[in-house]
Structure formats: C-alpha cells, structure tokens
Amino acid sequence: MKFRRDRNGTVRPRGRAQFDLRGRLKLIVGVLGACGVVLVARAVDLQLVDNAYYQQKADSRFLREIPIPTSRGMITDRNGEPLAVSSPVDSVWGNPQELLKHPDRLPQLAEALGVPLDHLERRLAQRADKEFVYLKRRINPSEAEAILSHKVPGVFSQREFRRFYPQGEALAHVLGFTNIDDAGQEGVELAFDEWLRGTPGAQKVIRDRRGRIVENVDLVRAAQPGKDLTLSIDRRVQYLAHRELRATLERTGASAGSVVVMDIATGEILAMANLPTYNPNAVTGEHRDARRNRAVTDLIEPGSTIKPITVAAGLSAGVITPHTIFDTNPGWIPNGRYRTTDHRNLGVLDTTGVITKSSNIGTSRIVEKLDNAYFHDFVASLGFGRSTGSGFPGEASGLLPPAGSWSGTTKQTMSYGYGLSATPLQIARAYATLANHGRAVRPTLVKGQHEEPEQVMDAGVADTVLKMMQTVTEPGGTAIQAAIPGYHVAGKTGTARKASGGGYSRRYVSFFAGVVPVEHPRFSMVVVIDDPDPAKGIYGGAVAGPVFQKTMDGALRLMDVPPDDIETWLAEQAKQQEKERARTAPRQAAASTASTAATTGGRP
C-alpha cells in the first residue's frame, strides 16, 4: 500500500486513481479510424485519381518500347537475279551505368570486342548518364554470341540487317550502298531509298534492372519490310561490259572508262559499268573518287561522236543530200585564228564519206550552211544540254552554250565535238534516237518504266544517217575492230583532246558509240576510255571499238537477237566449223589408229 502526507504532515493511505477505460478505447479507435481513412484516401488517390501518373512512373523503370528491325527491299536485275539483299546480323550494345559498376570486367569485354581498353573506358565514361551505347554493330550472329558468352553484366545484343551485294564491284556504281543505319547513300539505293526502306515496328517489353527482357507486353506497331525493286539491268550484260572495260584499261594504260548499254525501243539501261570502281560490301572513307558513276556524272567533249548529228542537222535543213560532195584538200581549213584539220588529207568525200572517214573539214563545211539557232536547237532536241531524266542521283546536265553566246569559231568546232559537253549516257540516248527512227526515249534503270517516245527528227533522215554510220565498221572505215560477224553495226569513233588550262593538252579521251543490228536496232552502246597511254594507241576505233565488239557479241547471243547479215554469219559459222575440224582431226586420227591396232591385235 502506498501512503501520502496531508497538509498537517500526517501520513495517510493513498487513494486508488480513477481510470477511464472506455474513453481510452474510444480515443484509440478514433486515431486508428482516422489513419484508416487517410490510407484509404491515399489508396484511392494512387489507384484511381492519379493512376496514370504513377503507372507511368512505374513503367518508366521497367517498361520499355523497343524497335522491331525490318529489312530493305531486295533489288534484282531484269531476270530476277538478286543484286542487293538484306542479311540478318547482330549488334552488341551495353548499358554504361551497369558496365561502369563492374570496372574489373571491362578488360575482358574490350578483348572480346577487339578494341583498346582505354577506348572502351572513354566511350562508356562519355555516356555514363545513359542506358544505351553500341559496342559493335552489324556483325555475324556467331561473333555476337562469342562476345555475350563472357556474361559481362550490362552487355546485350539485338537483331539488325546488313546490305549485301552479290555482284560486288561490277555493279557498285549503279546500286550504290547503304550506311551503318541501312539508309541509302548513293546510286539506286539513294534514288529509291523511300521505296526500299521498310518501316520499323515497335513493341513494349518489361526489362529487369540489368536490362534483360523478361516479358513481351504488347505489339505497338508491326514492322513493314521494304518493297522490292526490279532494275532494267541485265546481270550478264553488265558482267561482259565490266570485264571488257577492265581488260581494255589494262591493255591501253588508261586511267578510267565507262560503258553504257541501252535498249533502243524502251530506254531501259541494260548495263552501266565504270572503272575505277570499289567494293560496296566494304565501303571505306578512302578512294572517294572511285565511287563516282562517271557514266552519268562526268562531262566530256563528245568529239567525233557528234558528227552523225551534224550530218543529220544538214539533211533535216535540206542544205545537203547524201550525195553532196566535199573537197577537204589540202587537209585543213581556217577557223578564225586557228585551223581545223583532219588526221590526214582525205581528198574529195561525199556525205557518207564524211562519216566513214571522220572528217572534221567535212562537218565544218556542212555546219557553215546552217543557221546558228537551227543547229543549236537541233543538237538540243537530241538531249544535249539537259538531264536525260533517268533519276540517277547527281546526274549532270551537260553543257550546250546558247547560240547567242557563240564566237566566230564555236559553231565550226562544235560540229566535230568541241565546245559542248555531255555524259556517256546522253550520247547513248542520242544514238538510240537515231536508231529509233528519230524518236527519243527517256533512259530508265527500272524495268517496265516506259514513256511514250517523242519524235524529234524526221524518220527518213534518222534511217539515212544510220545507214551511213554502218560504213564506219566496214572495210575502209575507222572502226573495223567494232564489227560483229553476222550483224550490221552502225557506229562512230571519236578521239578528243582533253581540255587543260584554257586550252587542250596532249591527253585524250577515246570513244566508240554504236548501234546493233542496223536492220532492226536493239541496242545502243557507248564506250569511253579516258586518258589512254599514247604509246599504246589513242584512236577510238582501236581503243574503244573492241570493247563494243566483245560486249555486244555476247549480249546479242544472250538476248537471242537474230543476225541481220546472213552471208557474214554463214561464213563465220563455216570458219568456226573448219577450225573445230582442224582442232579435232589429230585426235580423231589417233583414235582411228588405236582402234585399228586393237582390231588387228597390233599386226600390220
């Protein structure tokens, strides 16, 4: 028992304190109820009122939207042979925040990646606040698996696509290439990038704190692959052109060359080859000059390949006829302060002879009869001075000065190919117009993309000039090396001096432009050989003519084009049969002797 003292100092027993249990219980219940209400209110706020905000916050930590890679459309030649395909590859990436937590594993990762350790550390440090960095892109899946096998925390891989070009260097300038992000950079890949490029998809996934995908949540957008593209190019003809062009550059010591083969009726480009070239499967920053498609970007003075057009202008204007006579003696004529000369004194020539013998004086005599504006407009109507409209990136328009800016010597020099410039494709188109009865077609690299031809020249004039050009490849012409047994070939050689320092150097460009077969023209082809070694020959017939002959000889057979010179074709077949008999005769004789010996048992 406890005691207490009163005021008088007397000790008395202490009374029991009064305890209100009911009140205390009410207080406790009230406090707990209030807490419950607060918790319920907070739960309502989190689950219902502010649900989207907090869900987004939670998702941002674990839910990710990742792209679904897609492939570019395949590019094929006119026969369906693949020219550019997309192959699946892997790219290794890492989470810098995770990797920097394990510096002891970085040397092992650097060795697996094949990069210096300091380079890897510097790259990760630069992106230390990020969650993604590429470590090695577009590699074989087996190589990516080898890197991942080290199980370095924060290292992953993802599927991508890489462009592959089966024809390699032969079609590099036509196709171009794509960059590391699979976007077209040059050539057809650039011109048709929107068509070829697919649309990547997207899907939502849940990743753990180490970046690993643990669940696919939802498909946001399905991937759409790129559309395929069929080119007008014939892989077989392209190979022939590339092979013969390379052999000619090696034979002549030339620095560069171009070949264009075009279907006369449709304008479809069957081959377009250039040298030097590059490997589109392994593009580097070096030798950028080799990437240039010279057939559509390089401007050259067409030289004597313009002479048939000058003759056609004279015939169209009625100032000459096929039988007009031109006296070219003594092998030169004045041209202002200069001279126009032939390679030798060609004497008296008719109009056909001007083309056959490639007379500068003859074309000068023709053009002096023409009005400046008329000659300019006639040349322009064949596509000179403007783009062909092929759609190839970087195509040059060429240069055809307006008639009002000509000096006293311009028209004369222009008549034999100086003072204007064109691309090899423009020359091929002009010759196709001559062979197509004066109807011009737009060149195209896409199969089936035809337009209605435009009549730019009288059909009779075009046919007459084509027949004149046939004499160039016949005995007495300047390009007998371009003749094809069994086929009539119409063409024109050219040998132009290269401009240098306001004048002309002793370096040359050699040409041959031709059409085959003459009776039913199918193909127009231009060969340009840049800067051949003068010691090995510079004239177009000897330098460029053989490229035409060998390429077209193969193309005509590949395309099953019937011969239009039956007599020559039969003679060639007989000659080949005779060679075959001469080659097999010794073996047949030896076999006959052995058979006789076996029958008689070796007795005489």
**CA nearest 229: which of 197, 196, 199, 262?**
196
- In three-state secondary structure terms, 262 is strand
**CA nearest 482: which of 527, 424, 531?**
527
244 touches 529 (CB < 8 A): no
CA 79 to chain centre: 18
What is the C-alpha separation between 97 and 505, in angstroms, rounded?
Answer: 64
Contacts of 295 (CB under 8 A, 6+ apart): 173, 258, 259, 260, 272, 273, 274, 423, 424, 425, 528
DSSP bridge pairs for 407? none
Q: Which two tokens stand for residue 119?
A: 């380079």
Q: How many CA atoms lie within 13 A of 120 on its CB side?
A: 23
Rg of the chain's alpha carbons, rounded to an integer?
40
- Given its phi and psi angles, is residue 538 left (phi above 0), alpha (psi -120 to 50 degrees) or beta? alpha
- Which residue, chain included where needed, has tokens 């003075």? 301
- Which residue, chain included where needed, has tokens 């000369």? 341
357 touches 472 (CB < 8 A): no
Other Cβ atoms less than 10 A from the Cβ of 91: the count is 19
Active site residue 304: yes
Q: How many CA atoms lie within 13 A of 588 on its CB side?
A: 6
Phi, psi of 512 (to 5 degrees): -145, 125
Question: ω before 141 within 30° of 0 (cis)?
Answer: no
Which member of 71, 91, 232, 304 is catalytic? 304
What is the C-alpha separation between 103 and 110, in angstroms, rounded?
Answer: 11
269 touches 241 (CB < 8 A): no
Q: How far is CA 66 from CA 133, 159, 180, 181, 385, in A?
A: 14, 12, 19, 16, 50
Q: Which two tokens stand for residue 355?
A: 């083309």
What is the C-alpha separation between 403 and 373, in angstroms, rounded?
Answer: 6
400 touches 417 (CB < 8 A): no
Q: Which two tokens stand for residue 516?
A: 């085959």
What is the C-alpha separation between 595 and 602, in angstroms, rounded?
Answer: 10
CA 233 to chain centre: 11
Q: Which two tokens stand for residue 460?
A: 């009779």
**Residues with a known catalytic role:** 304
